[in-house]
Amino acid sequence: MTDAARRGKSIAGVVALIAGLVVTSMALAACPIELSVYGDRDKVAEINFMPTEKSAATTNTFRMILEKDVVLDGIVMWGEDAGRPNGLLMHKCPEGDVTGEELAVCTVWQGVIYTSDHQGNIALLPAEGSAAPSKLIFPDLGPSLSAATAFGPEGLAKTPWDVFEMKGCQE
């Protein structure tokens, strides 16, 4: 094979790789947030969004899956007064009518959820029906999970980083 033929094959391989990345990136960009899947940099946690059942207050629903099959239930409610997506992560909350005190005991993180695009522009988490952002930011997530008493006296062995990157779209 001549040098020119080898270079042609190398260039064709690079072009195919770039085309594959562009198609994958476009497919992820077209994913609605209610079907998106995210992971943190240390592979400690995964976030799976799901369609929210009819609710006047809840704009997003998700699950965070941690070590040893620990599953945290997450909801997002947009506050009318502040106009921000207030996220809650809860662990084994009682069902039905619960008091504020009961809810406080099982809530392991609460805060505003931010997003970032590929250029680093920061925004607020959109409601369902919007395209999934490339990154999610849960400020102080790791320290909150470390301090949570809901996981028992031993707590969690590892906690996730505050930033989650989109890694897929559910079908």
With bands split at pLDDT 50, 70 and 90, how would you rate the model's confidence at 26? very low
Between 67 and 24, where is the model more confident? 67
Residues 92-121 have a mean pLDDT of 91
- What is the rounded CA–CA span in Å between residue 15 and residue 9? 10
Closest Cα to residue 155, out of 143, 138, 139?
143
Sign of CA dihedral 33, 39, 44, 48: positive
The pLDDT of 111-138, averaged and rounded, is 95
On whether the pTM is more than 0.85, the answer is no
For 33-61, the pLDDT digits (tens) are 999 999 999 999 999 999 997 777 888 99
Q: What is the pLDDT of residue 3?
A: 65
